[in-house]
């Protein structure tokens, strides 16, 4: 390493530490309502990544499913959360951030209780058993809860930050989520080993009970930190700070927009056809499952035709009734869906790595604490993201995204990028990394 490179790295480390210090100081000075969003988000990240890490082992050893069928369960959870956010993303705007956060966390708690019950009670084993349906019911509640929780959490950050502190707010919430994910490995492995005799065969049911208790604590914490009075004070403070930062022209435009919003009468949009198609999609999915397990003998083209028509029709009808929905923006849709292959690779953090560490290193400490080793990636994100951001602060954002996802067979294959004009961007780019589940 040359002196120039060493100096650049040292400066980047120093900038990162300074940024972390400023971020922590800003967090302490933030409205208490923002604490009510950020602190429960740590516990949410803990239980979510903890669930994904052990769900495969639970399906294989407790429910006695094959790895293929366990993969279906994983796909149903992660894909279901994405679909649920499309359905419930706007609910928090109607019922408020505080109610949305508390309600979604409470529903998550019920979901984890059902998961724990499925592994605690003698309900049979295998797909089609009562244990499977209790587990599926718990996972469904968790999926629906996340469809409400994730948009509400980010709406809360926007609600309780001004234009200058918004970037820090989003950086903190993403960083804390990864910190919680890392901690989940220690909680899961320790609880599993401590309660293996009370919750055979592996103590995983005890982990779900602990996650349910953590969710109960998160609900109480949310209600305690985000009271109606605290919410009103935070909104007033942010509005006052924002008006002080804006120009007079910007304030007049904001006032005009607010006045127009108050006069606008919200028309009830008929969604009957959408819900009909959604029900048809659920029917098609049920037929596909029954066909796969051998309970029915329908032609597969017919099953897929019903499912595909219903899903596409429901999506079209939903977007037709929602003119302001982001998915009506073609460029936005392209940008989101072009990242699916990247997310597919990232999904192996819970689809492959926990299995590999648990089975390939059987009998070793790696296997006994496979949750800890599976969740090293979040702590690396927590530490390295601000450091890499500081090193590449003057780089073109899109070229960095391409470089980060490009396979490098040799040093030359990732070198020689044409230098582009420097583009300033904040060093606080934890939120730019892609999440789980997120």
Rounded distance between C-alpha atoms, residue 375 and residue 364, angstroms: 17
Domain boundaries along the sequence of the chain: 31-241+350-402+414-432
Per-residue pLDDT 10s for the chain (438 aa) are 555 555 666 776 777 677 667 666 766 777 889 989 999 999 999 999 999 999 999 999 999 999 999 999 998 998 899 888 878 877 888 899 999 999 999 999 999 999 999 999 999 999 889 999 999 999 999 999 999 999 999 999 989 988 877 777 777 788 888 889 999 999 999 999 999 999 999 999 999 999 999 999 999 999 999 999 999 999 999 888 888 888 888 777 777 766 665 554 444 567 778 778 888 888 888 888 888 777 788 888 888 888 888 888 888 887 787 777 777 788 878 877 777 777 777 777 778 899 999 999 999 999 999 999 999 988 888 877 767 766 676 777 777 777 776 654 433 444 333 333 334 444 333 333 334 443
Rounded distance between C-alpha atoms, residue 65 and residue 158, angstroms: 42
Give pTM, 2 decimals.
0.77
DSSP string, 61-121: IIS---HHHHHHHHHHHHHHHHHHHHHHTTHHHHH-HHHHHHHHHHHHHHHHHHHHHHHHS
pLDDT in tens, 259-311: 665 554 444 567 778 778 888 888 888 888 888 777 788 888 888 888 888 88
Contact, 45 vs 149, CB < 8 A? Answer: no
DSSP string, 312-351: HHHHHHHHHT-TT-GGG-HHHHHHHHHTHHHHHHHTHHHH
Q: Which fold has domain 31-241+350-402+414-432?
A: Growth Hormone; Chain: A; (1.20.1250)
CA 430, 433, 436, 438 torsion: positive or negative? positive
Residue 410: which residues within 8 A CB-CB, separation 6 or more? none
pLDDT in tens, 29-76: 778 899 899 999 999 999 999 999 999 999 999 999 999 999 999 989
């Amino acid at each position: 390493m040359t002196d120039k490179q060493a100096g650049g790295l040292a400066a980047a480390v120093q900038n990162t530490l300074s940024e972390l210090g400023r971020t922590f100081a800003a967090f302490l000075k933030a409205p208490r309502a923002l604490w009510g969003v950020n602190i429960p988000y740590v516990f949410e990240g803990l239980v979510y990544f903890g669930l994904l890490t052990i769900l495969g082992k639970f399906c294989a050893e407790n429910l006695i499913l094959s790895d293929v069928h366990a993969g279906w369960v994983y796909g149903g959870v992660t894909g279901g959360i994405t679909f649920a956010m499309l359905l419930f993303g706007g609910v928090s705007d109607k019922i408020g951030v505080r109610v949305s956060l508390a309600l979604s966390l409470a529903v998550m708690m019920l979901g984890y209780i059902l998961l724990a019950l499925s592994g605690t009670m003698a309900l049979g084993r295998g797909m089609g058993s009562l244990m499977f349906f209790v587990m599926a019911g718990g996972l469904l509640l968790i999926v629906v809860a996340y469809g409400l929780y994730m948009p509400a959490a980010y709406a809360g950050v926007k609600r309780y930050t001004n234009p200058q502190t918004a970037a820090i707010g989003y950086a903190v919430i993403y960083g804390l989520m990864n910190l919680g994910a890392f901690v989940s490995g220690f909680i899961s492995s320790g609880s599993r080993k401590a309660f293996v005799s009370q919750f055979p065969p592996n103590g995983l049911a005890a982990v779900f009970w602990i996650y349910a208790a953590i969710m109960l604590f998160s609900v109480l914490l949310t209600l305690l930190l985000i009271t109606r009075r605290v919410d009103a004070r935070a909104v007033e403070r942010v509005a006052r700070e924002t008006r002080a930062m804006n120009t007079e022209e910007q304030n007049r435009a904001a006032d005009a927009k607010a006045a127009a919003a108050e006069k606008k009468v919200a028309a009830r949009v008929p969604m009957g056809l959408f819900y009909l198609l959604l029900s048809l999609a659920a029917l098609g999915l049920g037929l596909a499952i029954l066909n796969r397990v051998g309970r029915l003998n329908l032609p597969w083209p017919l099953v897929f035709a019903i499912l595909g028509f219903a899903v596409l029709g429901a999506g079209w009808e939903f977007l037709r009734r929602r003119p302001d929905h982001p998915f009506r923006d073609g460029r936005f849709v392209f940008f989101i869906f072009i990242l699916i292959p990247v997310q597919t690779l990232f999904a192996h953090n819970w689809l492959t790595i926990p299995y590999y560490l648990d089975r390939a290193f059987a009998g070793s400490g790696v296997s006994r604490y496979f949750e800890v080793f599976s969740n090293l990636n979040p702590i690396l994100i927590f530490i390295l993201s601000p450091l890499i951001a500081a090193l590449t602060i003057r780089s073109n954002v899109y070229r960095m995204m391409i470089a980060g996802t490009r396979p490098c067979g040799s040093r030359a294959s990732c070198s020689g990028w044409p230098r582009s004009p420097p583009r300033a961007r904040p060093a606080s780019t934890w939120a730019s990394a892609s999440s789980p589940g997120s």
